[in-house]
Amino acid sequence: MPYIFDHLDVIKEALRRSSFGLITDVDGTISQTAPTPQQAEVSPLCRQYLSALCKQLALVAAISGRPAAEAKNMINIDEMVCIGNHGLERCSESHSEFTKDVQDYFKVIEAAIEELTPLLSMKGISIDNKRVTATIHYRLCRDPLSAERNILAAIENSPHARGLRTIQGRMAIDLIPPVNVNKGTATLDLIQEHNLQGGVYLGDDLTDIDAFRAIHTACHDLDFKGFAIGVISQEMPAKLAEEADFTLNGVDDVERFLKWLSQTAVELN
């Protein structure tokens, strides 16, 4: 896994293109992983550099598993584009807009959560209802592996949950409508909407693989030069590393990279 600070020349080359974009995941990438989602906070340095980059790049965007409005409030940068629920929801000026064909799944998610409610009797498990998706967290469980097995078994026994996409992330399991929308399709949409000719995507979990692949697809099919950057942690899935072009060592390294990106953008302009 090549370390990005050993290859800044190729990022700088892409940054010279007329329109360059930065797209990032939120939790575990610009925010340290916290015991609960409510305790997570965007790094102040990440916020500082992202805010500066909004004035320097053609696009600065976040694609999160959180609801779009929640991600936007957490980041607290008005100029940033915020997409939530793994690409299914975009935060506009006054409200959130859901991707077509997913409204039918609001009731399915509600029913699935109700069927999975017995899981809450296990200490450390919580279920996050995000309207069009749901996330079952088990980071606080004493035996995470046992908790994961019980959650997967409960999903299989739930008539509504087993019809949804299941993604096993970092101490969490996402339930997502089985539609062809994900962080990858959202990434390609952003590249095309903003006519990007260069860019990077930063991510740390399995749902970011779709975005990594979208970056590579854009490099192949469009006039685009971009790179997928994996943010390493002890919980980083091996599959993510296999898909990444370069790596960063945790959120502290992301801060350092964003600082370099901002300073270099100023130099090139």
Report pLDDT digits (tens) over 36-62. Answer: 989 999 999 999 999 999 999 999 999
Asked whether residue 80 is assigned to any structural domain, the reply reads no
94 CB neighbour count, 10 Å cutoff: 5
Cα–Cα distance measured from residue 92 to residue 214, given in angstroms and rounded to the nearest whole number: 23
pLDDT in tens, 222-238: 999 999 999 998 888 88
Residue 126 or residue 269, greater confidence:
126
| Tally of domains in the chain | 2
236 CB neighbour count, 10 Å cutoff: 21
Same domain membership, residue 168 and residue 201 = no
Mean of the pLDDT values across residues 130-154?
96
> H helices then E strands: how many in the chain?
9, 12
Residue-level pLDDT at 103 = 84
Residue-level pLDDT at 93 = 67
Residue-level pLDDT at 234 = 84
Same domain membership, residue 134 and residue 118 = yes
Same domain membership, residue 186 and residue 169 = no
The answer, yes or no, to whether residue 174 has pLDDT greater than 90, is yes
Mean of the pLDDT values across residues 230-250?
91
Asked whether residue 117 is assigned to any structural domain, the reply reads yes
Asked whether residue 151 is assigned to any structural domain, the reply reads yes
Token output for 183: 């962080």
Domain, as residue range, for 207: 4-59+181-268
Same domain membership, residue 258 and residue 215 = yes
Specify the pairing of strand 89-91 against strand 96-98: antiparallel
Residue 104 or residue 154, greater confidence:
154
pLDDT in tens, 19-37: 999 999 999 999 999 999 8
Same domain membership, residue 204 and residue 158 = no
Asked whether residue 88 is assigned to any structural domain, the reply reads no
Same domain membership, residue 145 and residue 199 = no
Domain boundary among 159, 176, 193: 176
Domain boundary among 121, 143, 176: 176
Domain boundary among 148, 176, 204: 176
Block residue for tokens 């906070």: 41
Asked whether residue 81 is assigned to any structural domain, the reply reads no
Token output for 228: 């997928």
DSSP 8-state symbol, 99: P
* CATH number of the domain bearing residue 38: 3.40.50.1000
* CATH number of the domain bearing residue 152: 3.30.70.1020
Asked whether residue 112 is assigned to any structural domain, the reply reads yes
Cα–Cα distance measured from residue 262 to residue 11, given in angstroms and rounded to the nearest whole number: 12
Cα–Cα distance measured from residue 29 to residue 33, given in angstroms and rounded to the nearest whole number: 8
